[in-house]
Amino acid sequence: MLNWLSDHRASIAAVIILLLVIGFVYSIYVGRKQTKLRSKDEVFGDPERTRGGWYWSLCGISALMLVWFYFSWGIGRAYFPDAANEMCQIAKLEEAVSPIKAALPIGSRYYKSTTLVARNANQLAVIEAQLPTAAFTSDEQAQLTKIIGSTRRLLAVSSDPANQSQASRDQLTSLSSDIEALSAKLRQGPGDRTPSAEALAQPRWGTTHIEIPLLPETAKGILFDEVAVSAKEVAKTFNKIRNNPPANEAIIAETRAEIDAIKAANKSGSFDEDTAATRNAYVKSVERIFKRLDDGHIFPAASLDGVNAAIADLDDAKGEAKGGLGIVDALFFPGDGVVKSRTQCTEQSSGRWLPKPTDVVATFFRLANPDIESGGGFKGTTLLWWKWLPIGDVFAFFTPDWIADILPGEYARHSADGTVTPNFKDGVLAFAQGDINLGSVPMLDGHIWDSLFRVLVALGLGILLGVPLGIYMGVSRFFKSFFDPLIELYRPVPPLAWAPLILTIFGIQDDGKIFLLFMVAFAIMVISARTGASGTQLTKIRASHSLGASDGQILRNVILPNALPEILTGIRIAVGVCWGTLVAAEMLAGTTGVGFIENVARTVSDYELIWVTILIMGLLGLAFDLMMRWVIGKLIPWRGKG
C-alpha cells in the first residue's frame, strides 16, 4: 500500500493540487459572500470580526500549500512528469558545449583571445616599468627590454588575421560546419526514436536519492542526448585548435635563446644573495609571460566569428527543438531549471532545497515505519514506537551504586571450592545496577520520545522545584532577596551558551541535556510563580487572615491558586523555550532525538529529511501549546475575572 502510494506520488499530487485550487477558489467565494453579509452588523474594530471564518483558514492553508507545491516543483512534476528527464538531456547538451561557449562572447561576453591579449599586454607594461636597474648590467637591461618587446610582438602577430596559420583556419571552418550539422539535426526533430528498455526501467523522478532519471525516456530527450554526445566530441576538437602563425616562429626561437642566455649568466655569475634573488625572480616573471604566448592560444578576433555564430544558431535550434517544454520550464520550474553535473541531473534553486510535499510525507512514513530491519526508523532507532523496558533498569536509575557500598559487611568472595555465594550486599548492588529481573513494562521509544522525555523530565523537575521557590520568593523578603541575584545572573545567558560547559560536566547523554533544559524551565517557573504569588491582592490576604487561616493555609489556599494562571502561562512558555533549546542541544551532541536527525540530515544535505524534522518539531510544539491552552481553559476559567 505504502509502496504503491510512494510510486504514484506524482499522480496523487496532481489530484491534491486540483483539490487545493478548488478549495482556494471556493473559500474566496464563500469568504467574500460572508464579508458582504456581515458588513452590516459589525463595525471595524469589533472583536467579533476575528471569530470563526473557517473559509479564510481554508484559503490561507490552500494558498500556502499551493505555493509550497509550486516552488518545490511539485506542480511541475505532477502534471509534466517527463519534463525533468527531457530537461536533463538538454542540460547534457548545455554541459557539452560549455567549453566552447566559455571561449566565445556568447558564453562569457569577450573572446578568450581578447581577454588574453588585454591581460598579457598589461602585465608586460608593468614588468617593463619594474626592471631592476641595479641588478643587471646595462647590456643585460637592453637585452631584457628586447625580450619584452619581442613578446609584445607575439601578441600583435597572433592577432593579425593576415598572419593566421592555414591549419587553424581550416580547423575552425570544419568545426563551424560540425556545429551547424548538430543544429540541423536538432531542427529535423525527434522523429520516432524509441527509448531503450534500460531507460524505461529507471526509477521515476524523485522516488530514489538520484533525483532525476539520467537516460532519455522520450523521443525528444533521445535527440538531445545524441546531439549532446556529438557536441562533446566537437568541444574536444575545439580545445585542441591552435593558431601558430609562421611569422611567430623566428621570434619565438630567437627570444627563447636570449632568455636562456640570461638564465645561464644568472647561474654562472657570482652575485651577492639579494642581487641573485632579484635577477632570478625578474627573469622568471618575464619567461612566464613569454611561455603563455608561445603556444598559439591567441586567435584573430574575426577568425572566431564563424564559430560564435554557429553556436548562437545551435542555441536557436535548441530553443526550437525544446518547443513547449520551454514554456513549461519557465512557468512550472521556477529558478534555474535542471543542471547536469558530472554524474547526475539535479534540480536547482527552490526545487533543490524545498522538497515536494508528497516527498516529505513519503520520507516521514519511511522514518515512522517501526520496522528497522526493512529500512524504517533512522540510524537504528524508530521515530516513535514502544519497547519492553525492564523494571530493574528503572529502579537502577534511581538507586546509586554507593547505597550498596555503605551497607555494613563485605562483598562476597569466592570460597575454597571455587564457588561464589552472593550475600545481601551483593543483592543490593545487583539491584542498584539493574541486574535483577523484575519483569518488564511497555515503554515508549524512538527519536521523538527521546526528545519528549528530555523536555518532560526537565520541565517536571523545573516545576517541582521552581514553583515552590517562586512562591516563597513572592511572599518572603529573605527568599526574594537571597535567590534573586542568583537566578537573574544565570537566566539572561542564552541556554546554548551554557551547553558546552554542561555537556562537558554531565556528559552528552540524557543527563546533560536534561540539566540544561532544567535550568531553562527552572528560571521561567521561578519567575512566573513569583510574579503570580506577589500579585495576590492584599484584601484577599487580609480577608483570609480574618477568616482564621494560618500562614501555611494562606499559602496553599489563597496564594497558590492566585498564582496558578501565571504558573500555567509559565509552563506554556517553558515548554516552548525548552523545546527550542533541546533541538539545538541535540544538534551539538548525542545519538538520538529529533535534533540529532536534523543534524545528520544537515551534514548530508538531505533537504527532505531536514524539512521532515522541521515539520515534526513544529507539529509537536503546536500540540504542546494547544494542550496547554486547553488545560489553562479547563483549570482556570476565572482567569482575568477576579
Partner 1 sequence: MADLVSDDLCMTFTNPQTGAAVEALKDINFTLKKGELLSVLGPSGCGKTTLLNMIAGFINPTSGNVALGGNVIEGPGVERGMVFQQGALFEWLPVSKNVDFGLRMKKTDKAESEALVEKWLDIVGLQGFGDTPTYQLSGGMQQRVALARCLVNDPDVILMDEPLGALDALTREKMQSLVLELWKETGKTIMIITHSVEEALLLGERLFVMAPRPGRIHKEYNLPFAERGLKESLRDIKQDAHFSEVREEILTMIWNMEEEIMGRA
Q: Which residues bind partner 1 (CB under 8 A)?
A: 537, 539-540, 542-550, 553, 557-558, 561-562, 564, 636-638, 641-642
CB of 640 to partner 1, least distance (A): 9
Q: Which is nearer to partner 1, 281 or 543 (CB)?
A: 543
CA dist., res. 556 & res. 565, Å (int): 15
CA 572: distance to chain centroid? 30
Q: Which is nearer to partner 1, 296 or 561 (CB)?
A: 561
CB of 562 to partner 1, least distance (A): 8
Residue in this structure with the C-alpha cell 574575426, named with its chain if needed: 302
Q: Which is nearer to partner 1, 275 or 544 (CB)?
A: 544
Q: Which is nearer to partner 1, 387 or 542 (CB)?
A: 542
Q: Which is nearer to partner 1, 254 or 551 (CB)?
A: 551
CB of 52 to partner 1, least distance (A): 25
CB of 553 to partner 1, least distance (A): 5
Q: Cell digits for 199?
A: 531507460
CB of 532 to partner 1, least distance (A): 12
Q: Which is nearer to partner 1, 539 or 603 (CB)?
A: 539
Number of H helices and E strands in the chain, helices first, is: 29, 4
CB of 529 to partner 1, least distance (A): 16
> Within the chain, what is the greatest distance between any pair of CA atoms?
119
Q: Which is nearer to partner 1, 320 or 551 (CB)?
A: 551
Q: Judge contact between 140 and 265, C-beta under 8 A.
A: yes
Q: Which of 206, 202, 336, 337 is nearest to 607 (CA)?
A: 206
CA dist., res. 465 & res. 522, Å (int): 7
Residues 508-529 as b/e (b if ≥16 CB within 10 A, e otherwise) read eebebbbbbbbbbbbbbbbbbb
Q: Which is nearer to partner 1, 171 or 544 (CB)?
A: 544
CB of 636 to partner 1, least distance (A): 7
Name residues whose C-beta falls within 8 Å of residue 104's C-beta, 6 or more positions apart in sequence. 111, 112, 304, 307, 308, 311
CB atoms under 10 Å from CB of 342, counted, come to 5
CA dist., res. 476 & res. 480, Å (int): 6
CB of 534 to partner 1, least distance (A): 17
Q: Which is nearer to partner 1, 141 or 544 (CB)?
A: 544
CA dist., res. 131 & res. 152, Å (int): 16
CA dist., res. 461 & res. 477, Å (int): 24
The answer to whether the Cα torsion of 211, 377, 579, 596 is positive or negative is negative
Phi-psi region of 52 (alpha: psi -120 to 50; beta: other; left: phi over 0): left
HEC-encoded secondary structure of 144-210: HHHHHHHHHHHHHHHHCHHHCCHHHHHHHHHHHHHHHHHHHHHHHCCCCCCCCHHHHCCCCCCCCCC
CB of 622 to partner 1, least distance (A): 28
Helix (H, G, I), strand (E, B) or coil at 297: coil
Q: Which is nearer to partner 1, 413 or 641 (CB)?
A: 641
CB of 561 to partner 1, least distance (A): 4
Name residues whose C-beta falls within 8 Å of residue 278's C-beta, 6 or more positions apart in sequence. 132, 134, 135
CB of 476 to partner 1, least distance (A): 18
Q: Cell digits for 538?
A: 492584599
CB of 496 to partner 1, least distance (A): 38
Q: Cell digits for 570?
A: 509559565
CB of 552 to partner 1, least distance (A): 10
**Concatenated DSSP letters of 274-289:** HHHHHHHHHHHHHHHH
Strand partners, 390: 440
Q: Which is nearer to partner 1, 491 or 639 (CB)?
A: 639
Q: Cell digits for 502?
A: 554542561
Burial classification of residue 104, based on how many CB atoms lie within 10 Å of its CB (0-12 exposed, 13-18 middle, 19 or more buried): buried
Q: Which is nearer to partner 1, 22 or 543 (CB)?
A: 543
Q: Which is nearer to partner 1, 446 or 570 (CB)?
A: 570
Q: Which is nearer to partner 1, 380 or 548 (CB)?
A: 548
CB of 568 to partner 1, least distance (A): 12
